[in-house]
Amino acid sequence: MSDEEQLEELRRRRLAEIQQQAMQQEVAQQQQETFEKQKYLIMRKILTQEARQRLENIRMVKPQFAEQIELQLIQLFQSGRLRGATPLADEAFKKLLEQISQTGKKKEFKIKNL
């Protein structure tokens, strides 16, 4: 094999790798979009318009916390532990947020010198 043939073979391999990576990224993006659509539909079942607006306000300030809340709400809903009025009204959602934030707080430890 000549140098030009080897170079051409390397180019073909690299092009194939790049195309495969692009396809993998596209598949991952489609899966993420599907997940987001499903999450949106479930959240519409779980929360009222006012409660969803409150969640969006939280998302603007603390996006990771809002994501955690959504996942916890979905888990509660799917396990059947979210009883009562569904969709949750804003007041019920506030109470649930308080419970979630209380369980998320870590205890502070004080070290005393002897």
Decide if 103 is inside a domain: no
pLDDT, tens digit only, all 114 positions of the chain: 788 899 999 999 999 999 999 999 999 999 999 999 999 999 998 999 999 999 999 999 999 999 999 998 999 888 888 766 678 888 988 988 888 777 766 666 677 776
b/e 27-46 (16+ beta carbons within 10 angstroms → b) = eeeeeeeeeeeeeeeebeeb
* Structural domain for 34, as ranges: 3-98
Instruction: Report phi then psi at 88, rounded to 5.
Output: -70, 135
Helix orientation angle between 63-79 and 3-46, rounded to the nearest 10 degrees:
60
Cα–Cα distance measured from residue 75 to residue 55, given in angstroms and rounded to the nearest whole number: 16
- Angle in degrees, CA 85, 88, 94, rounded to 5: 130
CATH number of the domain that residue 92 is part of: 1.10.8.140
* Domain assignment of residue 24, yes or no: yes
Rounded CA gap, 66 and 74, in Å?
12
**The total number of structural domains that make up the chain:** 1
Q: What is the DSSP secondary structure assignment for residue 47, as one 8-state letter?
A: B
> Residue 76: inside a domain, yes or no?
yes
Residue at 108 is within a domain: no
Find all residues with CB under 8 Å of 19, minimum gap 6, and list them.
Answer: none
- Whats the size of the chain, residue-wise? 114
